[in-house]
Amino acid sequence: MKHVTIYLLALVLLLSACGASGKPEANGEIDAVIKRVVDGDTFELDSGEKVRMIGVDTPETVKPNHPVEPYGKEASNYSKELLTGKKVKLKFDVEPYDKYKRLLAYVYMEDGTFVNEKLIRDGYARIMTIPPNVAQADLFLAAEREAREQNRGLWALEGKQTDTPKEKAKPKQSKNNTAADTAPPEGKTIKGNINSKGDKIYHVPGSASYEQTKAEMWFATEEEAQQAGFRAPKR
């Protein structure tokens, strides 16, 4: 009986180990080793798979036919120093892969550091929340607002760029508009923004405030936006 118990325990441990290193799945997690960092928000595992961190958008450095964006090199170097060669835990949300077959993950270091949040809070990335991967959206929003209020990283640089004495002053970015003005994800063109009062408002293409609104979240339909707690702007 004792031998049977030991055998069953060993079998359970073996199956658990296989599950921990198995194929990525919704709301699952895997352990991995980072081989190289591509840019601030993307890296490659020793398995050859590429990973795009959920919810963060660092300035571009390697996008084809696209110039290196301000603070892009700093963000890329920061991620390289932090992540290259490190063992990490990748946690997945609803969609483990994007359309480019990259893994979409929340990244945790061995000491528990939540890398996605750290990049935002330290001012190396803006938030870019794309449903349905929204589990940490509120945490990321709070981290970005703290970084902006403390003028960390790219937020300090933005202040210098908009306050140049030799040029005509440019209008400062509204506190309501916190995310990068990036192209919308495929099929999601409705912008979601949370203003300084905490009101969640969505803007459809062609509406009065659409162009000047910086998207903190993207939605495919108004129904999707409403389900996430957003409302249409007051008229």
Q: pLDDT of 83-106, one tens digit each?
A: 999 999 999 999 999 999 999 999
Active site residue 36: no
Q: Peptide bond before 132: cis, by omega within 30 degrees of 0?
A: yes
**In the chain, where does DSSP find H-type helix?**
2-20, 72-83, 115-121, 137-149, 154-162, 222-227
Given the residues 69, 95, 102, 222, select the one marked as catalytic. Answer: 102
The more confident residue out of 70 and 161 is: 70
Residue 108, pLDDT above cutoff 90: yes
**DSSP designation for 233:** P
Catalytic residue among 52, 145, 152, 222: 52
- Does position 226 have pLDDT exceeding 80, yes or no? yes
Q: What angle do CA 39, 80, 59 make, to 5 degrees?
A: 30
Please indicate, yes or no, whether the overall pTM of this predicted structure exceeds 0.85. Answer: no
Q: How does residue 220 score in pLDDT terms, banded at 50, 70 and 90?
A: confident
Choosing from 60, 74, 144, 224, which is the catalytic residue?
60
Tell me which of 9 and 229 has the higher pLDDT: 229
What's the pLDDT score for residue 212?
A: 86
Cβ proximity of 99 and 152 under 8 Å: no
How far apart, in whole angstroms, are the C-alpha atoms of residue 16 and residue 131? 30
| Better-scored residue on pLDDT, 114 or 154 | 114
Indicate whether 36 pLDDT > 80: yes
The answer to whether 60 is a known catalytic residue is: yes
- Does the domain at residues 26-128+135-172 carry the CATH identifier 2.40.50.90? yes
pLDDT of amino acid 73? 92
SS3 of 171-210: CCCCCCCCCCCCCCCCCCCEEEEECCCCCEEEECCCCCCC
Query: What is d(CA 93, CA 127) in angstroms, rounded to the nearest whole number?
Result: 16
Which range, 83-92, 140-149, 174-183, 224-233, has the best average confidence (pLDDT)?
83-92
Q: What is the pLDDT of residues 43-72, one digit of tens each?
A: 999 999 999 999 999 988 777 766 778 888
Q: Is 149 noted as a catalytic residue in this protein?
A: no
Per-domain boundaries in the chain: 26-128+135-172, 173-235
Cα–Cα distance list, 33 to 48, 50, 52, 138, 189 (Å) = 10, 11, 14, 28, 35
Position 170 scores a pLDDT of 38
Q: Which two tokens stand for residue 170?
A: 């440019």
Alpha carbons 37 and 165: distance in angstroms, whole number: 37
Above 50 in pLDDT, residue 15?
no
Could you give the CA distance from residue 163 to residue 64 in angstroms, rounded to a whole number?
Answer: 30
